[in-house]
């Protein structure tokens, strides 16, 4: 152990450098989505590529491997935080050193250009203009997957970047198990007489009124507004740039205030996780999120388990009615039903929680075929439309509401989509565990006291960073492995409640 402190501190210092560079790249990305002038995207792509290249060279420098080997030879206690950090650092180093810096820069440059083209293509529903960029990104993704290594399924290597330990076959088996039950739950909901709908709340909800309500809501659920901000973008997102700097975005619809309400609750869940990571561990794996699925579990828990509950609508009703006069004449029960309405819809980020995972299953099936080469880019719109009609019973009218609606593929984010459903399953399992462990939790939620829930999540999820793999973290927090039953039972109970 005598050599560990010096080499370990060098790893920590390099990790901090990388965290600062990552935050700089994240800030460039946030600015591109919110404020960047239209003609600046090409130059921004060059900036982002430069930062990514510098970071990659620092992360893969030979001395990093030497420091790791020195620390590993010292054999720290397997249960120590240092051992956990070394395990994660070794995973990241071995993965990163397989990809040359010029390929990292090329991928960053290609995604920067593709992102700006996607924005315009989505507006015009013009898939043909985006298709060449998607071809390029898929080529680069396959190339990186081959360099990372896999056992005949290149998607495994891409998935590993978001959900370490998961394999494509495991996700496929889980989703195959989910699909028929999800479809059955959705069909029951579609058949509810006097079907609830957000359209029944049609009115005028000014953007200013929405912004003011959301700025009041955020600190009440625990989000530190002095250490974060809320802006607008084409696609809502949250960037945890570092301690005391969390950037969230949403979008507004003046005919439907729930678009921004649930968009913000979702992104705030991400933001609360980012704000809950140990600040003193910046640059080490203990200061990073466990996985994207765990990150998503936080956003879906706050959006759906909290924000779509009876207690939320009952407790916030007077504030909502005051903020939005067009709600006068409605009751909180009516709005709760509308907020939980299960409806066929085209847009994933606006989908209800029953049909949401069907949107993810569709994307997972298509992108695994794109990566394998079984599905050609030119055939993507038709394949999307066919599968969408099979799963959700709707004929897709245009590519803006079809295969162009998400930003992820323009960023080269292949392997990302499954994390949403993994997050849904995890969030529901955590919710049930929190209620078991905190007998007075429901009473606190009823009086708008979200502190006990947030502290439970801080203690059981946020504080650990990447010390544990996602599956181990779920086991520790809930007492059992990830199981879809918690999520499916919650959905079934909610549809039953809507039917009564």
Residue 238, beta-bridge partner list: 248
Count the neighbouring beta carbons within 10 Å of the beta carbon of residue 135. 14
> What's the CA gap between 184 and 180, in Å, rounded?
6
DSSP string, 203-233: S---HHHHHHHHHHHHHHTT--GGGEEEEE-
Tokens 């709707």 sit on residue: 394
Count the neighbouring beta carbons within 10 Å of the beta carbon of residue 76. 17
Q: Assign 36 to helix, strand or coil.
A: coil
Which positions are catalytic? 267
C-beta separation of 248 from 238 below 8 A: yes
> Going along 112-254, which residue ranges are E strands?
228-232, 238-242, 245-250
> How much helix, strand and coil, in percent to the nearest 5, is found in the chain?
70, 5, 25
HSE of 440, CA atoms in CB hemisphere, 13 A: 7
Token pair belonging to 478: 């809930």
> What's the CA gap between 421 and 409, in Å, rounded?
17
Q: Is the dihedral of CA 347, 352, 358, 364 positive or negative?
A: positive
Strand duo 228-232 + 245-250: pairing: parallel
C-beta separation of 433 from 476 below 8 A: no
Contacts 24+ apart (CB under 8 A), 327-335: 327/201, 327/203, 330/201, 334/200, 334/201, 335/201
Count the neighbouring beta carbons within 10 Å of the beta carbon of residue 136. 18
HSE of 387, CA atoms in CB hemisphere, 13 A: 21
């Amino acid at each position: 152990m005598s050599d560990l402190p010096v080499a370990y501190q060098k790893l920590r210092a390099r990790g901090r450098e990388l965290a600062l560079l990552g935050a700089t790249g994240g800030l460039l990305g946030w600015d591109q989505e919110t404020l960047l002038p239209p003609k600046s995207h090409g130059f921004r792509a060059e900036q982002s590529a430069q930062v990514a290249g510098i970071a990659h060279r620092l992360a893969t420098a030979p001395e990093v491997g030497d420091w790791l080997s020195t620390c590993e030879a010292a054999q720290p206690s397997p249960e120590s935080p240092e051992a956990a950090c070394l395990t994660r650092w070794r995973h990241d180093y071995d993965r990163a050193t397989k990809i040359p810096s010029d390929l990292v820069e090329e991928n960053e440059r290609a995604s920067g250009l593709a992102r700006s083209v996607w924005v315009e293509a989505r507006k015009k529903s013009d898939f043909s203009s985006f298709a060449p960029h998607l071809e390029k990104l898929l080529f680069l993704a396959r190339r990186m997957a081959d360099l990372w290594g896999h056992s005949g399924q290149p998607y495994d290597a891409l998935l590993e970047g978001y959900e370490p330990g998961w394999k494509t076959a495991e996700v496929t088996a889980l989703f195959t198990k989910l699909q028929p039950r999800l479809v059955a739950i959705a069909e029951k909901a579609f058949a509810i007489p006097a079907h609830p709908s957000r359209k029944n709340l049609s009115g005028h909800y000014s953007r200013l009124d929405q912004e003011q309500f959301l700025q009041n809501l955020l600190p009440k659920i625990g989000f530190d507004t002095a250490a974060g901000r809320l802006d607008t973008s084409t696609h809502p997102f949250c960037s945890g740039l570092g301690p005391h700097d969390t950037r969230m975005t949403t979008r507004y619809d003046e005919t439907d205030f729930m678009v921004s309400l649930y968009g913000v609750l979702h992104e705030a869940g991400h933001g609360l996780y980012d704000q809950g990571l140990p600040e003193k561990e910046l640059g080490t794996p203990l200061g990073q999120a466990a996985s994207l699925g765990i990150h998503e579990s936080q956003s879906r828990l706050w959006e759906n388990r909290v924000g779509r509950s009876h207690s939320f609508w009952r407790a916030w009703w007077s504030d909502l009615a005051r903020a939005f006069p067009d709600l006068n004449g409605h009751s909180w029960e009516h709005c709760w039903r509308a907020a939980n309405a299960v409806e066929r819809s085209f847009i994933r980020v606006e989908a209800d929680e029953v049909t949401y995972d069907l949107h993810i299953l569709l994307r997972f099936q298509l992108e695994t075929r794109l990566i394998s080469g079984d599905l050609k880019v030119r055939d993507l719109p038709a394949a999307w439309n066919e599968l969408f009609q099979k799963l959700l019973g709707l004929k897709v009218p245009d590519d803006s509401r079809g295969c162009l609606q998400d930003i992820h593929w323009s960023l080269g984010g292949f392997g990302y989509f499954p994390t949403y459903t993994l997050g849904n399953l995890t969030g529901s399992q955590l919710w049930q565990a929190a209620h078991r462990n905190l007998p007075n939790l429901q009473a606190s939620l009823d009086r708008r006291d979200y502190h006990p829930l947030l502290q439970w999540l801080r203690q059981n999820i946020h504080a650990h960073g990447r010390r544990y793999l996602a599956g181990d973290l779920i086991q520790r927090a809930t007492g059992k492995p990830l199981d879809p039953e918690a999520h499916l039972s919650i959905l079934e109970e909610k549809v039953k409640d809507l039917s009564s």
